[in-house]
Chain A
Amino acid sequence: MTDVTNFENKSMLSGAAQLFRAREHSIEVEARPLTDALPEPTIFNPPAPKRYYLYLMAPAIAVLAFISLYPFFWLIVMSLQSVDIGSSEWVGFRNYARLLKDPNFLSGWGLLLKYSAMCLFMQLAIGLMLAVIVNNHRYEKYLVTALLMPMMMAPAVAGLLWLFLYNGTFGWYHWILQSLGILDSASILASQSTSMYAIVFVDVWQWTPLITLIALAGLKKVPRDQLEANMVDGASPIRNFFAITLPNLYPVLLIAILLRFMDNFRFIDHILVLTGGGPGNSTKILPVYLFEVAFKFFKLGRGAAIALTLLIVTIVLGMILVRVFDKPQSERK
């Protein structure tokens, strides 16, 4: 077989070989349009004018503009002002300049990245593992139902639940950890060294099931014959998982990671209920700081500036993630 895309060669082949070779062309060649043998219709049904669709969509666009576009632009304007209750003053980029010198802002970023990375890593690892264990298990249905329970709880309620479990006087976990000698007398949430991990633990507890659920859906679609081919080729089950299952899971894992990473940048229910950012500033991740600046101290201008930087970073990180994961399979080694 020589160059299959070479069209000129085709005419030189004999009839039978031509038929055989026709199948050898890539799909693009076969999908090329053919001459239309039918006569052209004398009357065309005119397509509906584009404007018609615009009229239909107008109400939806108006609502969307009102609830999302208007506040978005207002946020940008506000970030350039010093806003107080009842008054506002144009300050240009002074809000942003101040942020760069604000230690809470910078440490907030650091803590946010650390928190988000820990949550994501643990949730992915545990979530995938659970999905593999549960997949095709005899009691799969019941196990999935049980696993999903934490996710069904409102985050604030979950926070309250764990506030009791961590409580230094009657909390279960406090008692267990102290009995095991891991913890000294300090309360879990009141210690700067443990409070962040305690919050990560709650987030992992509540949201790992989401990853499990998504990964489970992905596992069902891993082609069986590829797994079997790899087994016959000589792969062990673990090798098989990394060589076939995981690459097939990338697209669904991307969705899971995107969801969780954006949630970590937005949801602060657990932290507000459990520590409120303390002790000290040890759990004051950026969104918590933003909440404090904007809605406790009512520095709405500065709050808007923080929110905007948070938004931009979220978008950029999201785009990078999609790039990394969503490369067409042909480009990945």
Chain B
Amino acid sequence: MATVTLKNVWKYYGETPAVKDLNITCPDGSFVSILGPSGCGKSSTMRMLAGLEHISAGDVLFDEERINDLAPKDRDVAMVFENYALYPHKSVFENMANPLRLRKMDDSTIKDRVEAAGKLLEIDHLMERRPHELSGGQKQRVAIGRAIVREPKLFLFDEPIAHLDAKLRAHMRGEIKHLQKSLGTTMIYVTHDQLEALSMADYIAVMHDGELQQWGTPSEIYNHPVNAWVAGFVGEPAMNFLTCDLQGNGDKVHLSHKNFEIPLLSEQIKRLNGARKAKQARMGVRPDALSISMTDPGEPSIKGKIFVNELLGGDMLVEVELEDARIRVKTTPEFNGKPGDSCHLTVNRDKWHVFDSGDGHAYF
């Protein structure tokens, strides 16, 4: 159990910075997910926490203790690797017992702890098998088991379920979250899958190009992205972006596009007027903040033509063609528009976003 703090942490590989001036504080007992595309520096961050990479600059603190110069074995962290990294010449039991044996615990304690972990992860019937006799899901459980027998200060999970098939991945998401809550140990979980981060974490750190983009709870990240990059990365199906003109002044501002002209809410105008620089801006709206109808709804709406319908089981995704772009709308499977029909999209203006057309930061 520990509060993990990264203070102005940098990682250089030769001349190339992989992590730039990272500041994160993970509260004690929280589940923190580091989210980003490959090459964003999330794995480097995790490896610096584990002690497998030198910290080029800055400090890493566990509670108040600076651990920059401690060897991995002295940091009391447990890590689960992407490829499980099980020891092929050892049985499941010995794999899980390894960290305890290295700490010279006595045999009966080791047996108790490994068996308890085995029961918890439902692998107690596999104890005598070797890793090559296990399926992917079982290997993954053994790897987690090896981490939890230690009762460490901090768990580091490096994309642990990336190699499982979709069904099992969904199952393990719930299991890992439950496990973390019941153990109460701080966990840092690296992933490139925004769904994993949103569904499991207490806090998400979104990284891009080695820089922290946003820190917040899943709902903050999803509902109030700080910039267009975060907004586009998080959420499936992805947010729609449209370049619009900002027209009007004072308390009457509206977004204007070839297909629509929609006024902003007064609260939004206040936030925009303070910071606004350009005449243009990017509007961002998630597919589920739009609603589609075949008739004119009588309020400001976007006029377009249906391009294609995709039925996703419980939902229907409609791609609508505008003058210069296509946007996607989520609706119910009962929707009966045909490709080629013209339609109207109304925007839930509480849930739309306007981003600066230059650096992409969010006005709201």
Residues of chain A lying within 8 A (CB to CB) of residue B134: 26
Most buried by A among B87, B88, B150: B87
Q: Is B130 an interface residue (CB 8 A)?
A: yes
Bound CA–CA A114/B47 (angstroms): 49
Digitize B102-142: 1 where CB-to-A-CB distance is under 8 Å, 0 elsewhere. Answer: 11000000000000000000110100001011111110000
Q: Chain B: residues with CB nearer than 8 A to chain A? A: 50-52, 71-73, 77-79, 81-83, 85-89, 98-99, 102-103, 122-123, 125, 130, 132-138, 146, 150, 156, 164-165, 167-168, 171
Please report the C-alpha to C-alpha distance between residue A23 and residue B137 in the assembled complex, in whole angstroms: 8
Q: Are A239 and B102 in contact (CB under 8 A)?
A: yes
Q: Is A231 an interface residue (CB 8 A)?
A: yes
* CB pair A225 B81 closer than 8 Å: yes
Give bound CA distance, A235 to B123, whole Å.
Answer: 25
**13 further interface pairs, Cβ-Cβ under 8 Å (given A230-B98, A233-B146, A329-B89):** A1-B125, A3-B125, A23-B164, A26-B133, A228-B50, A229-B87, A232-B51, A232-B79, A233-B78, A233-B102, A234-B72, A239-B102, A332-B89
User: In the bound complex, how far is the Cα of B89 from the Cα of A188, in angstroms?
Assistant: 46
Q: Given that A3-B125, A329-B88 are known contacts, is A234 also in contact with B137, CB under 8 Å in the complex?
A: no
Chain B nearest Cβ from A227, distance in angstroms: 9
Q: Does A136 contact B (CB under 8 A)?
A: no
Total number of A-B contacts with CB less than 8 angstroms? 88
Known: A226-B87, A231-B73. A23 touches B98 (CB 8 A): no
Which residues of A have CB within 8 Å of B150?
233
Measured between C-beta atoms, what is the minimum distance from A112 to chain B in Å?
33
Q: Are A234 and B168 in contact (CB under 8 A)?
A: no
Contacts of B102 in A (CB 8 A): 233-235, 239
A234 touches B85 (CB 8 A): no
Q: CA separation between A232 and B85, bound complex, in Å?
A: 12
Q: Are B72 and A232 in contact (CB under 8 A)?
A: yes
Nearest Cβ on chain B to A332's Cβ, whole angstroms: 6
Q: Kindly report which residue of chain B lies nearest to residue A30, judged by CB atoms.
A: B135
Distance of A329 Cα from B137 Cα, bound (Å):
22
Neighbouring B residues of A27 by C-beta, 8 Å: 135
Q: A1-B122, A228-B85, A329-B88 are in contact. Are A23 and B136 (CB under 8 A)?
A: yes
Cα(A322)–Cα(B81), bound, Å: 33
Q: How far is the CB of B301 from chain A (nearest CB, A)?
A: 40
Q: Are A228 and B99 in contact (CB-based, < 8 A)?
A: no
Instruction: Note all chain A residues with C-beta closer than 8 A to B87.
Output: 226, 229-230, 243-244
19 contacts between A and B (CB under 8 A): A3-B125, A16-B167, A20-B167, A23-B135, A23-B137, A225-B85, A226-B87, A228-B79, A229-B79, A230-B87, A231-B52, A233-B150, A234-B73, A234-B102, A235-B73, A235-B102, A239-B102, A329-B89, A330-B130
Q: In the bound complex, what is the Cα–Cα distance between A292 and B233 (angstroms)?
A: 81
A2, A20, A332, most chain B CB atoms within 10 A: A20
Q: Chain B CB within 10 Å — which of A1, A229, A235, A236 has the most?
A: A229
Considering the complex, give the chain A residue whose CB is closest to the CB of B152: A232
A24 at the binding interface (Cβ < 8 Å): yes
> At the interface, yes or no: A324 with Cβ under 8 Å from chain B?
no
Across the A-B interface, the 10 shortest Cβ-Cβ residue pairs:
A225-B85, A234-B102, A229-B85, A233-B99, A234-B73, A330-B130, A231-B72, A329-B89, A232-B79, A1-B122
